[in-house]
Structure 1
């Protein structure tokens, strides 16, 4: 057991849309990532998608609505809902996903999730 410094982990990431695993929680990966621009629309058939904005602001776009999500706020996308996060300026986000879930919903297009 040890503490994990989120700012220190995020300082090691220079890319966008590239989640990095920082901890394990039950059968989940706890990850940090930097967003800038728009991620492709996608969905997760079997799992919800958890986002906690640590710094900055993002917009969670759904098929017919958009929700601003500011630092200190959480947004959970229910399974089966098409969505995409977007950030006009760089923002820092903590994600929690079941191990092995591709971030795009499709293993063929998913980013690797290196551990830092």
Structure 2
């Protein structure tokens, strides 16, 4: 972790991969991750931790499966949303987006999904170091 300021625009410019988050810094036991996203992620759940999203550019939709049914939240640039632990969700960004996330360190980008049905465009990772 660096002790110098990090420009998010520079962090995002340092990689091209979609759905492949980079760890910008850490806050206690949480990673601050940035990612470029486009198209659909996969349905997944984080049983032990919430997931915070901030849209830096573009628009992100998050489909949620909750008691009582499914709903979708749409996040424009500058909007934030927290997916509560235990909530199955699927992010998507048809037009592309840049996002910042807070996730507990070691949390997989595909949650607790173990069925092997992860498409090739989604990186199953706990976050890559910035610059990789």
Give the TM interval when normalised to the shorter protein. Answer: over 0.9
Provide Cα deviations, 1:44-83, integer angstroms capped at 9, x if missing partner.
0010011000000011111211111011010100000000
State yes or no: 1:29 paired with 2:31. Answer: yes
Identify unmatched segments of 5+ residues in structure 2. Answer: 119-123
**Which segment drifts farther, 104-113 or 39-48?**
104-113
State TM-score, norm by structure 2.
Answer: 0.83
Q: Distance in 1 between matches of 2:50 and 2:43?
A: 15
Identify unmatched segments of 5+ residues in structure 1. Answer: none
Cα pair 1:33 1:93 within 8 Å, conserved: yes
Cα pair 1:18 1:112 within 8 Å, conserved: no
Partner of 1:53: 55
Q: Distance in 2 between matches of 1:27 and 1:79?
A: 16
Determine which structure has more spread, i.e. the larger CA radius of gyration: 2
Number of aligned residue pairs: give it. 116
Q: Distance in 2 between matches of 1:113 and 1:83?
A: 19
Please provide the CA RMSD for this pair.
1.4
